[in-house]
Structure 1
C-alpha cells in the first residue's frame, strides 16, 4: 500500500505541469500580440511550428527515458534534472528583449521551442512514472485521482493568480524594478516558475520507483509495434481532437474577455 505522502508527491508533479500549461494556453498568445508586439500572423505561425515539433519530441523523449538507468530509476531523475531548466525556460518565454521586430521574432521561436522541449523532457517521464510506482491497478487509479486533483488545483491557482500578480508588480513599483507591462508579466512568471520548481522537487523527493523493467527493445521494433497497435491510433486521434479543442479555446478566451466582456 502506497503512502499518502507518495500520492501527494505524485500529484505535485502534475500540479506544476498544469500551472505552466494553463499559462501557456490562455495567456501566451495575447502576451505575444499585446505585450511582446508580434503580429497575429507571426504568433499563429509560431504556435503551429512549436506544436509540430512537440509531436516529434514527445516520442523521442519516451524512447530516451525508457532506456535510462540510474540509481533513482528510469523516469524519476528527470524531475530533478529538468526542474530548474523548466523554471528558467518559462521565465525566458515571458521576457521581452530590447530589440527590433525580427530580433523579437527569432527570440520568440528559440524560447518557445526551448520551453516545449524542456516541458516534454520533464512531463513525458513524469507521466510514465505511474507504471513503475505500483503494479496494483487499484493503486494506479488512486494515484491518477491524486494527479487529477492536483492538476486541476494547479490550473485554478495559475489562472486565478496571474492577473493579480501582474497588477501587484505594477502597483508596487517602489518595491519591484518594473518599468513596463512586459516587466510585470515577467515578474508574474518568475513567481509561477518558482512554485513549479519547488513542486517538481517535492515530487522527486516524495516518490519512488518500486517496479523494475528490463531495458526497452530497439527503436525500430518499438516503431513497428506502435504502427500495428490499432487502439493506440484510436487514443491518438481522440487526444488530437481534445488538444485541438483545448488549444483553440485557450488561445481565444483572453481576446474574448478583453474585446467583448470588458467593454
Structure 2
C-alpha cells in the first residue's frame, strides 16, 4: 500500500494537474477583477444593486459547495471519484459564463433578474468543477512534501492565468467588440471559457487517484459535517480562508476603481494586477523550498504579517508615485503567493488528520467546506465595497468626491491590512506541525497494512 499511496508523482502528472488552475483563473480572475465594474459601467446596474446581488449569490453558492463535495465523495466510476467531474461540468460552466457576460435589452428589473440567474448558474457550475479538482490534490499522493510541490505548481499556473487575464482582457474586449463593450465582454468570456475547458480535459486525461476512504466506511453526510466541526485544524483553516479572501477581494476589486478615479490612469490596471500575479507565482514556486525549513503554520503567520505591513504602507503612497504602488504590489504578491499552496496542502493534511482521529475520510467535503468559507469571504469583501461606495455617494463614470476617493484608498490599504492581522491571530489555533503529520501518516499506513 505504501508504494502506491506515497507515490512520487511524475512531472507530467504534476503539470497536468496544475494547468487546470490556469483554466479556473480564466474565470475567477475575470470575476474578481472585472465583474463588478462590468456590471456597473457596461451592464448598467448600480454599484449597490451589483454588490448586493453578488453578495447574495455568493452566500447561496457557498451552501452548494458542501452539497457538491458530498456528491463527489460518493461518486464511483472507473475513473475515480473526482476526475470525472472535470469531464462532465466544463461545458455547462462555459455556457453559463457566456450568458453572465451577455447584456440583454431588458428593463432595469429585468436586467437585475438576468444578472441573478446567470451569475448563480455560473458559480454553481464553477463549483461543480472546482470542488472535485481541489479534492483531487488530496488523493494523488499521501506524501506531505509531494502535496506541497503539487499545490505550489498549480498556483504558479493559477497566477500565470490570472496575469494573462488581467493583461489581455481589456484589449480583448476592445478588439473583439470593435468598440462595442457589450459584445466585447461577451466574446471575451467565450474565448476564455473555451481555453479553460481544454485545460480541464487535459487534467482528466493525465492524473490518477490513489487514496480511497477506508473500505468499511459507511456513507453519512451529516457525520462528515460533524467530523469537520470537531476537526480543530480544519476549523482554523476555515476562518483563515474566509479572512484572507476578504483581504484579497477588497484590494483586487478596488484596484480598478483606484486607478480610474484616484490615480486617473485606468490604463495602469493592465500592468498592476499582472505585476501582483507574477510576483505571486514566484512566491508560490518557492513554497516547497520554504516548507522544507519552516513549519507551515509559522510560515503562514510570517506571510500574513508582511501582507498587513505592506498593505498599510499603501495608504501613504502619493498619487503620482506609480513606481511605489507597483513595488508594494509586487511585495504583496511575493508574500501572498505561497499562502494558497500552503493552505491547500494543509487542507489535505486535515483530511488525513480526520481519518486518523475518526477512521473516516471525506476528502471532497473537506475541500468543499473550505471553499464555502472562501466564497463567504469574497461575498463579505464585495459587500463591504458596495456599502462603502453607497455611503460615500459613488457615481459610475463620473468625477468622485474627496470622500469617495478616500474610501477607495482605505479599501486598498488599512482595511485589508486589518483583516490580514486577524488571519495571523487565527493561525495560532492551528495545531498540526511536521512531527504530528509524520506520526499521522505512519499510523495510517500501519492501519492499511
For Structure 1 versus Structure 2, the TM-score category normalised by the shorter chain is: over 0.9
Deviating more after overlay: 76-85 vs 200-209:
200-209
CA contact (8 A) 1:16 1:154 kept: yes
Using the size of structure 1 for normalisation, the TM-score is 0.92
223, 226, 247: which one pairs with 1:224?
226
Q: What RMSD over aligned residues (CA atoms) do the two structures have, in Å?
A: 1.5
What is the total number of aligned residue pairs between the two structures?
A: 256
Report whether the alignment pairs 1:111 with 2:113: no
Query: Secondary structure in 2 aligned to 1:223?
Result: helix
Corresponding residue for residue 71 of structure 1: 78
Shift of 1:120: 0.9
Task: Give the drift of 1:260.
Answer: 2.6
Report whether the alignment pairs 1:80 with 2:87. Answer: yes
CA contact (8 A) 1:66 1:216 kept: no
Which of 255, 258, 261 pairs up with 2:260? 258
How far apart are 1:194 and its partner, in Å? 1.1
Shift of 1:228: 1.6
**Aligned partners of 1:35, 1:151: CA distance in 2, in Å?**
27
Q: Would you say the 8 A contact 2:174–2:181 is kept in 1?
A: no
SS of equivalent residue, structure 1 residue 56: helix
Larger RCO (alpha carbons 8 Å, 6+ apart): 1
Q: Distance in 1 between matches of 2:204 and 2:262?
A: 43
Distance (Å, rounded) in 1 between the aligned partners of 2:147 and 2:77: 23
Secondary structure in 1 aligned to 2:194? helix
| Aligned positions of 1:135-174 closer than 5 A | 135-171=142-178
Cα separation, 1, equivalents of 2:221 and 2:12: 36
Deviates more, 1:25-34 or 1:215-224: 215-224
- Conserved? CA contact 1:134–1:211, under 8 Å: yes
CA contact (8 A) 2:174 2:180 kept: no
**Using the alignment, how far apart are the partners of 1:138 and 1:191 within structure 2?**
36
Give the structure-2-normalised TM-score. 0.55
Deviations 1:110-145 (A, max 9, x none): 011111111111101000001221222232222112
Instruction: Give 2:128's aligned residue.
Output: 121
* Aligned position for 2:415: none
**Counterpart in 2 of 1:211?**
211
Distance, in Å, in 2 between the alignment partners of 1:210 and 1:236 is: 26
Q: Report which stretch shifted further, 64-73 or 140-149.
A: 140-149
User: Distance in 2 between the 1:238 and 1:139 partners?
Assistant: 23
Residue 222 of structure 1 deviates from its aligned partner by 1.4
Deviates more, 1:54-63 or 1:108-117: 54-63
Report the 3-state secondary structure (helix = DSSP H, G, I; strand = E; otherwise coil) of the residue aligned with 1:69: coil
Q: Name the residue aligned to 2:138.
A: 131
The answer for unaligned runs of 5 or more in structure 1 is 172-178
CA distance in 1, matches of 2:47, 2:208: 45
Contact 2:89–2:129, Cα closer than 8 Å, also in 1: yes
8 Å CA contact retained: 1:67, 1:216: no
User: Bigger CA drift: 215-224 or 48-57?
Assistant: 215-224
The answer as to whether partners of 2:40 and 2:47 remain within 8 angstroms in 1 is yes
Q: Give the CA deviation at 1:40.
A: 1.3
In the aligned structure 2, how far is the partner of 1:111 from the partner of 1:46?
11
Q: 1:6 aligns with which of 9, 13, 16?
A: 13
Q: Does 2:192 align with 1:192?
A: yes
1:97 aligns with 2:99: no
Q: Tell me if 1:32 matches 2:34.
A: no
Q: Tell me, yes or no, if the aligned pair for 2:177 and 2:187 is still in contact at 8 Å.
A: no
SS at match of 1:131: coil
User: In structure 2, what is the Cα distance between the partners aligned to 1:261 and 1:94?
Assistant: 27
CA deviation after TM superposition for structure 1 residue 169, in Å: 1.7
List per-residue Cα deviations over 1:55-101 (Å, max 9, x = no partner). Answer: 21111111110111011100000000011112122111111111111
> Aligned pair 1:58/2:60, yes or no?
no
**Structure 2 runs not aligned, ≥5 long:** 1-7, 266-449
Mean alpha-carbon deviation: is it higher for 184-193 or for 212-221?
Answer: 212-221
Which residue of structure 2 lines up, in the alignment, with residue 240 of structure 1?
A: 242
Deviation, 1:239, is 0.8
